[in-house]
Structure 1
Amino acid sequence: MKKIILLVPLLSLASFPALADQALASSRNCMACHSVDKKLVGPAFKDVASKYAGAKDSQALLAGKIRKGSSGVWGPLPMPPNPRVSEADAQKLAAWVLSVK
């Protein structure tokens, strides 16, 4: 009897951008207050994506809110600033949030 061995290449998160960017959101503690599809302390990412869909410069706007914080948009609780998130990571996170459906 012959043995058949299948070699499957290992795939990194970089092979799946949506998963990679969700992992980035987790590593930057975004998921402590937000989830993809349910309101926690802050709004669900799908609700943020819906609110800003088609808005002019929405990615830059959200990246700014990620780094500088925000208040009054989704209720009385402010989103604290995240100055440790680099501009590049803020742009990736904003793009990912806007892609959530």
Structure 2
Amino acid sequence: MQKWLIVAALGAFFGPLAQADEALAKAKNCTTCHGIGNKIVGPGYKDIAAKRAGEKGAEAALAAKIKNGSKDEWGQVPMPPNLVTDAEASKLARWVLSFK
């Protein structure tokens, strides 16, 4: 019973944080090109997280790609720069890397 209460409390605490990051991704139109587990135009978030797993500095590198765009990493279609602040780019990178 205690374990269930702990899990419920953690879900209540972290649930809104995950939704806030998803809301930011939707607000910045990230979900137009990226699915959680599926490729749309660009790779799915789970694929990105898997590729970056264990990479030193992955969050900063991904945040830079989110903000400045990238090309030739996932195929021929480039990802354009996004109108995000440094803080938003970091928040989005953390969220994407949380997918396992």
State the TM bucket, normalised to the shorter chain: 0.7 to 0.9
How big is the shift at 1:15? Answer: 5.4
Runs of 4+ in 1 over 2 A off after TM superposition: none
* Structure 1, unaligned runs of 5 or more: 1-13
1:88 aligned partner, one-letter code: A
1:96 matched to 2:84: no
The corresponding residue for 1:32 is 32
Q: Report which of the two has the higher share of helix.
A: 2
Pair member with larger Rg? 1
Distance across 1 between alignment mates of 2:44 and 2:19: 17
Question: Aligned runs of 1:47-66 on 2, under 5 Å?
Answer: 47-66=47-66
* Structure 2, unaligned runs of 5 or more: 1-13
Distance across 2 between alignment mates of 1:80 and 1:52: 20
2:59 aligned partner, one-letter code: Q
Q: Deviations over 1:40-61 (max 9, x none)?
A: 0000000000000110100000
The corresponding residue for 2:84 is 85
Identity of aligned residues (%): 53
Distance across 1 between alignment mates of 2:73 and 2:15: 34
Q: Deviations over 1:65-101 (max 9, x none)?
A: 001000000000000011x200000000000000012
Query: If the length of structure 1 is used for normalisation, what is the TM-score?
Result: 0.83
How many pairs does the alignment contain?
A: 89
Distance across 2 between alignment mates of 1:18 and 1:49: 15
